[in-house]
Structure 1
């Protein structure tokens, strides 16, 4: 019958990270304890965007669940590495021991970046299958990250500053208090992971209540199904500031957000998932009242602004005077997403599926925080 010790896929790129258009190469390895009969060993290369969520409708006996979903394929290619797909025929066998099958696959251009979210994903996998006659097939899974370049130098708004102001009045029974006014400023809106976002905020509290102040870095993801869209908000980081007493005003500066490894803005080339980022000033009045939120949208790219690179190089030379002046764009490192791992097991994966069943995408990261 044949007994399988292990079935795995290894990539030549140990980080498992590729830019759209690059070649994915590696090998599938089958380790057998005894001879195994099979039809073939094949690899399925798949890139897919997928969105799905459910909502409850109605009440009582009329209560029901509505499912919203959408799918788009970027590629779906099958490659036979042993057996009938190469030689024809239906009966083959492999002797005991370890057997290695190399593969190479060119990614199409214009792929969206990898993304794993609670409601949808853009996912790239290689799924290996040992097709066995009259028995359950054996499978293995290997996911990898794909990056789509988002060059901030090609986006005119990325180098520009932004300012936002908003206000609100608090109501208590039939009385209206004076307003809360908040202003948020940034000197530019384009950044790459690893850079620091310095901001300045100001606030006036003309109410009779104490107000808390904080700033958030938030990720806003919109999932588009065929009949409806859904938006998820995730707070990436929060910075607290001192409370603001009634009648007081303040100016808040000097704090920063360091952008962690995150997917680039917009999720370019994906039509069913959109990603935006904001920094937001939050003024929270004590007692029953809605917060005052003052947001500014920022852009997170994969290629930094040239002006930011020059500033970084100037700062580096002042910190390390003996360092030679850098001319070329500094190369990024690549770090796993701050959003953490995702279970990528499909409905059809069971006890006969090996490999990588949890996955964390990898993104660009410029380790500039110590000097900027």
Structure 2
């Protein structure tokens, strides 16, 4: 695009976090400035900004309607979270229409013209612009100039837009703006294979008889999820058993029990996995664990599902008649997007799958749902979760659970001064803060996209259209 005297147009946001990223939540104030750099005097009709936040979903599917008939079905959906518009220079424009003062008298023309009247000498010097040109429809000849006298509408110099122009002199010019995000649950910024949630501010510089110059700046919105809630601090556990073959060739069962200390985590944390695997079959099996992200998109009453492997680990091979225990085996959560649970058209969910890889057979798997939040675990919640996890894991692993009786309060001799000293020491203790979730989210935004596997949660009846079947929940060995 030829900018002419306008060298640059850019949008800058003021509220940046410690990682120099614009990050906001519902109800926050978004402020910034539009910077215009010009090399000479420039006449400006208006400078507008538009802030939008939109969740979009789109995918296509091929269908067979007969022996030799095929068609493509499009699925699209859009949900708007933010719409704000402001004018920084000039009066507020009416989008899609022209002010009546722009329209001049109708001039009869005896023959069609090959070019616009304003490009050559006009029969009437005071009439120079047609409505078609005001609307910035640039053709070899204006539509009104070639259609005949019934369509000839012109703009007079006396009634033209020269009066409301603003002149920007050479140099840098800054124009401040601000607006508040809606006080509601906004969907977290997200980029997926079949959909996205994006927020941004767009600036448009309008000049007379020229195409507008546009600039855009995106910003990040987080719908914060606090994992320090009773629901997300509750332990997750499960048990499964499987027998290979059947009837006369049946072997012994393979049993799997798994447990994690809580349901909520943040990026950068490590999940402590407690598991017990017993192999009574005749095959050599391998216990494994994997963290999966599931993206679900909804449009026109149909769903599209994408499953992504985020992280995994592997145990030692287990021979016949042997067992294996994981006493807090660690699986680190890499930089990932937080869970999205409140958006009607996009959902992002996580699950920890602990499974036994069985050669030549279907894997024995156990899925434990997770929620990836944005507010890390507090120190007090960490101690509470660890105590409850250690106490409950004894009975879960089949060991005798014999808690000691609490001591009598009469046996405790604690002075009031000692109690106050303990409270003051606890309040003034300098505990190391957990790493900010933004560091991991920032890193995640620049990672290459992982491999996807597509899953249709609402499959149609069997046909030859090539629909992808639901893959195995566990990765291959």
TM over 0.5: yes
2: CA distance, partners of 1:60 / 1:89: 67
Structure-2 residue corresponding to 1:108 = 182
What is the Cα-based RMSD across aligned positions, in Å?
A: 3.2
The answer as to whether partners of 1:113 and 1:267 remain within 8 angstroms in 2 is: no
Partner of 1:291: 363
Paired position in structure 2 for 1:361 = none
* Contiguous gaps of at least 5 residues in structure 1: 315-320, 344-372
* 8 Å Cα contact 1:2/1:37 also seen in 2: no
Does the 8 A contact of 2:259 with 2:274 survive in 1? Answer: yes
Q: Which has the higher contact order (CA 8 A, sep 6+)?
A: 1
1:218-272 alpha-carbon deviations (Å, 9 max, x no partner): 112221112201221111111122122233221123322333443333443x221
1:288-327 to 2 correspondences below 5 Å: 289-306=361-378, 309=381, 311=383, 325-326=429-430
Deviation at 1:22, TM superposition (A): 0.8
Instruction: Quote the offset at 1:170 in angstroms.
Output: 3.4
Indicate how the Cα distance of structure 1 residues 3 and 182 shifts in structure 2: closer, same or farther if over 3 A, else same.
farther
Equivalent residue number for residue 218 of structure 1 = 292
Rate the CA distance shift 1:168–1:54 in 2: closer, same or farther, 3 A. Answer: farther
Q: Which of these residues, 44, 50, 67, is aligned with residue 44 of structure 1?
A: 50
**What TM-score results when the alignment is normalised by the length of structure 2?**
0.62
Superimposed CA distance per residue, residues 291-316 of structure 1 (whole angstroms, 9 cap, x where no aligned partner): 2221101222223454655539x9xx
Which position in structure 1 is the counterpart of 2:305? 231
Note the 1:51-70 alignment, pairs <5 A. 51-58=57-64, 61-70=68-77
Question: How far apart, CA to CA, are the structure 2 residues paired with 1:144 and 1:215?
Answer: 35
Q: 1:247 to 1:133 in 2, by over 3 A?
A: farther
Residues 341/138 of structure 1: CA separation in 2 closer, same or farther (3 Å cut): farther
Is 1:259 matched with 2:333? yes
Deviations 1:337-368 (A, max 9, x none): 5543499xxxxxxxxxxxxxxxxxxxxxxxxx
Q: Do the aligned residues in 1 keep the contact of 2:188 with 2:340 (CA within 8 Å)?
A: no
1:328 CA drift (Å): 11
Give secondary structure in 2 for the equivalent of 1:245: coil
Is 2:199 the partner of 1:124? Answer: yes
Q: Is the 8 A contact 1:115 1:122 kept in 2?
A: yes
Q: 1:46 Cα shift?
A: 0.5
Mapped partners of 1:303, 1:88: distance in 2? 54
Larger radius of gyration: 2
Worse overlay, 274-283 or 55-64: 55-64
3-state SS of paired residue (1:84): coil
The offset of 1:180, in angstroms, is 2.6
Number of residues paired by the alignment?
332
8 Å Cα contact 1:39-1:131 kept in structure 2: yes
Q: Which runs of 5+ in 2 are unaligned?
A: 94-160, 387-424, 449-477
In structure 1, the partner of 2:39 is 33
User: Of 6, 9, 15, which aligns to 1:7?
Assistant: 9
The alignment partner of 2:282 has SS state of coil
Q: How does 1:154-169 map to 2 (within 5 A)?
A: 155-169=229-243
> Counterparts in 2 of 1:339-350, with a 5 A limit?
339-341=444-446
CA 88–136 in structure 1, closer or farther in 2 if over 3 Å, else same: closer
